[in-house]
Amino acid sequence: MAAARFKMSKRGVGQLLRSEPVLAEMVRRAEVIKGVAEGIAPTDSGQYRASFFVRPVRRGGRRKDRAVAIVGNRAPHGAHVEYGTERVQAHHVLLRAAQAGGR
């Protein structure tokens, strides 16, 4: 029986990382994280909870070489809820959602 050989193509791996199926999977996982974030978000006014979004990016990551999906919050006070201030305790909603979801 002959030994199997494999030669990796860097171009092919790059194409795979930017492919439509990989982007679709990143968006699917981001939607899960968004759902978890909406579920654990504080609801003082409801604006923060309603401001979560998912944005697909075909060339993302540190080297701009792969498909990614970004989960964020557009509420004006979103950073204060996530990171806190000297008067408000940090809730780390997106951090906790990313740790719990995305599978």
Distances (CA, A) of 71 to 37, 54, 78, 92, 93: 9, 5, 12, 13, 11
pLDDT in tens, 33-58: 999 999 999 987 789 999 999 999 99
User: Which DSSP symbol is given to 76?
Assistant: T
- Give CA–CA dist 13/4, Å, rounded: 20
What is the per-residue pLDDT for 44? 79
Average pLDDT over residues 74-89: 93
Contacts of 90 (CB under 8 A, 6+ apart): 81, 82, 83, 84
Judge contact between 40 and 98, C-beta under 8 A. Answer: no
pTM of this prediction? 0.85
Angle value at C-alpha 58, between 55 and 59, nearest 5 degrees: 115
What is the per-residue pLDDT for 6? 85
